[in-house]
Structure formats: structure tokens, C-alpha cells
Structure 1
């Protein structure tokens, strides 16, 4: 029995599956690759528990649709979304649907390993209620303006749009964004979004 932690790589590009798979295997993970979301879902019942690296742009069934099906079927495996298109609005939707993180291709190996580490930490957590309480406590530390900026980010808006909506300069938005990231202890937008959606702030 292989007790190494398993990562499912769901991506329609064989070169991506092979390169990520090789890197993960050399760092101690077990890997199983899938050429499409539909193929993964077909074998979901018998798939071993693990972390899912899920590409967004795939033919037949895109990553968001696969994630929706995973949620509908009650799958508890954590999802990390991969996108090569820099589409923040798609990443926001994935985070709202429960993704642990999102990574834009091409990404650094250490960023991927960090995201996978967080995914397995989530698998080990036993109390979602405690996680929600912690997230709400972090959000409570923000000022009203910082919350407004965060809500704009959580909607997928760029800084310029947030600045226009709030009647402030883009530079001021950047300052508020930096401050709220520091208060949340978030090193990236995806971490801030995860805290936001864990606290169940707002609706799509």
C-alpha cells in the first residue's frame, strides 16, 4: 500500500500532465493523471482520496463544470484550479465554489507545492465551523473601506473599477488592498478570497 499523498492531475494537455506529474513524484507525491474532467468524474467513485489539480480550460467539460459536479456529488477532495488565461473572474467563481487556491500558468514549482500543502492541510482539518469562525474574526479586523475594497476584489473587479465605484483613486485602492492583505495575513489574492468565502461574505 502506497502511503504517499495522492495528487490527481486533471488537464487535457499531455505535456502539462507529464511535467507536473514528474515534478510531484520527485518531491514525494503519488500522482494519477486524467485527460479530461469527464474521465475523472466517470471514475470518481473508485478514485483514491487526494488533492485535485483542475485545469479550467478543457474541451467537453471545463473545470468549473467539473468542480460543480464534484460539489454536487459530495466529493470532499480539495481542488486547486489551474488557468493559463489570467481570468480573475473565473478564479473568483472557483474560489467561491470551494477551491483551495488558483494558479496561473506558467507557475513556479514552489507556488504549486505550497498550494498542495494547503490542500492537504484542509483535508486534515476536522472542524469547518472553527475555520469559519477564524475567517470571520479576521474580516472583523478590517475597516469599512477595506471591506468595500475586499468585496470588489471578491466580485472579480480590477483596482480601477473598484476605485471608480468607491469614488477614490486607484492608488488609494492599492493602499487599502495592501493593508487588508496584511491584516488577513494573506500573501496572495487567492488567500484573501479563501478567507472571504470561508466567512461566507456576500453572494454571487
Structure 2
């Protein structure tokens, strides 16, 4: 690797953090260790590759943070003896690769090389989805129902009939929905709903 890659290591286990840092000492991979996601989020870096121990809700928490902030960094997850299901879940959540600990420096270097290649395309789609979800989460249940109706091509009158409310009330919910989502028009709200996987 021609340039030094910043590896942001998130792992609650001190011994493993020390072992990984030692393993990568003198390589082209510079390690910055963090005890947990909260510590990383409080000092969010401009660039680098996240190497995250797959425990609790660490990956999901980081993806939510990146969705809110708009600052995307690729995630390589790792664990000791992970099940195939766990690996698949982590990748589906947004990890660009998954390593089994203990791993060698060469394993991580190869993973970083692959992740850097994948990161651009994955980052774009995952970040758009995370940003869209955070916008949709601002909506009340009723506003979401109106958004689903709008995305389904229904008029205010038909949405109102479906929800047992007046078309005027639908209009108010629709205006609030657009405002909360930061959408200038209905087509933008529909795009956000699609990116958030709220509608197909």
C-alpha cells in the first residue's frame, strides 16, 4: 500500500485492542483505538476505515450516526468465531467486509484494499438509505401513512377515505411531512421514502 491508511479500531476489549495495534505496528495501517462507538462518535475523523468488533449494536449505531451526520466511513466488522448468519447480517447492515479474529496484518491489508474498492459504491447507496431513514423517522405515524398514500399515487381525497380523515387534514399532514423531511416537493418526499425502503 503506497499511502498510510488510518484504521479506526472500535473494540471494548483492552487486550484485543492492544493485540491488534501491536499486530499492525510498522505496517502501512495506522491504528487509532477506541473503547466504544460513543468515544469514536465524539471525535469523528474526516477519513479512515472503521474496524469494528461486532458486538451488541455497534455496527447499527455507527450506521445511524453516519446517516444523521452524512459523514460516511467504510466498516470492516470482525469477531471471534462469528456464525455465518452474523456475518451476513453485518454485511446486510452495511459492513463492507468481515474478518475472523485472530487475523494477520496481511488479512487486514487485503480486506482494506478490497473495502476501499467497494466503499465508494456501497457508501453512496448505504448513506442515502441511512439519511432517508433518519428523515422518515422524524414523521409521526399519521404522516408516514400519508407519505405511503402519496407514494402510492393516491389523491388527498383517497388518502383521507383510506385513513378516515378529511382531505383538508391530509393536506395539513402532507405539508408537515414535507417540512419535517426537508423536501421541497412531493416527488422529493417519494424519492426519500423509496431510499428509506418505506415503499417499493
Q: 1:90 to 1:127 in 2, by over 3 A?
A: closer
Q: For this pair of structures, how many residues does the alignment match?
A: 122
Give distance in 1, aligned partners of 2:123 and 2:74.
15
Match of 1:10 in 2: 10
Per-residue CA deviation, residues 6-39 of structure 1 (Å, 9 max, x unaligned), is 1100001112112212222311222211011121
Partner residue, 2:34: 34
Contact 2:63 2:94 in 1 (8 A): no
What is the TM-score when the length of structure 2 is the normalising length?
0.52
Matches within 5 A, 1:173-184: none
Gaps of 5+ in 2: 126-200
Q: 1:22 to 1:48 in 2, by over 3 A?
A: farther
* Structure 1 gap ranges (5+): 130-204
CA shift at 1:126, angstroms?
Answer: 11
The alpha-carbon distance between structure 1 residues 53 and 88, as it changes in their structure 2 partners (threshold 3 A), is same
| Deviation readout 1:27-57 (Å, 9 max, x if unpaired) | 122221101112112222xx13000000112
Task: Report the Cα distance in structure 2 between the residues aligned to 1:126 and 1:68, rounded to whole angstroms.
Answer: 12
1:68-107 equivalences under 5 Å are 68-73=63-68, 74-107=70-103
CA-to-partner distance for each residue in 1:109-168, whole Å, 9 max, x for gaps?
Answer: 322221112223345679969xxxxxxxxxxxxxxxxxxxxxxxxxxxxxxxxxxxxxxx
Q: Could you say what secondary structure the match of 1:26 adopts?
A: coil
**Equivalent of residue 65 in structure 1, options 60, 72, 78:** 60
Post-superposition offset of 1:82: 0.8
Closer/same/farther in 2, CA of residues 89 and 70 from structure 1, 3 Å limit = farther
